[in-house]
Structure 1
Amino acid sequence: MLHFELVTPEKLLRSENVHMVVVPGSEGDFGVLEGHAPFMSTIRDGNIEIYKTASNQSPEIIRVEGGFAEVNEKGLTVLAEKAG
């Protein structure tokens, strides 16, 4: 499982283990699974798609505005200017 955190300047909104997250990167959407290579990207206004399990056909959607995403050995952290 991938450890995913969604953080805004106000608070930590999410900290959970999920199957996959699709992030609206500034140069296009990208999906992150467990074991993804270290990566950093700015994000554009758009929707984060959270897939809780491999068989989850309808993801949870969270709207984000600005910020950046970092993938490292601990998982994926999205630092968004606004979320919700």
Structure 2
Amino acid sequence: MLHFELVTPERLVRSEEVHMVVVPGSEGDFGVLEGHAPVMSTIRDGNIELYKAGATTPELIRVEGGFAEVNERGLTVLAERAE
């Protein structure tokens, strides 16, 4: 499982274990699974797609601007806004 955190300047929005996350990167959408190579990217306004284990349809979280970082601990998205 992949550890995912979504943070805004105001609060920690989400912290959980998921199967996969699709991030709206500024260079295009990218999917992150457990064991993904380390990467850092700016994100554009759009939807983060959260796939939980066994789910076929994603949960969508609207974000505006920010950064995404993948490292050995998982994926952290620092968004300017999240709904």
Q: TM-score range by the shorter chain?
A: over 0.9
TM-score by length of 2: 0.99
Alignment correspondent of 1:35: 35
Q: Which residue of 1 aligns with 2:70?
A: 71
Q: Aligned equivalents of 2:15 and 2:61: distance in 1?
A: 14
Runs in 1 of length 4+ with deviation above 3 angstroms? none
Task: State the Cα distance separating 1:56 from its structure 2 match.
Answer: 1.2
1:20 aligns with 2:27: no
Structure 2 unmatched runs, 5+: none
Cα shift readout 1:8-41 (whole Å, capped 9, x = no counterpart): 0000000000000000000000000000000000
- In the TM superposition, what is the alpha-carbon distance from 1:57 to its structure 2 partner? 1.1
| TM-score, structure 1 normalization | 0.97
What's the CA shift string for 1:38-80, capped at 9, x where partnerless?
0000000000000001x31110000000000000000000000
Q: Secondary structure at the match of 2:10?
A: coil
| Amino acid aligned to 1:3 | H
Sequence identity of aligned pairs in percent?
A: 83
Matched AA of 1:83: A
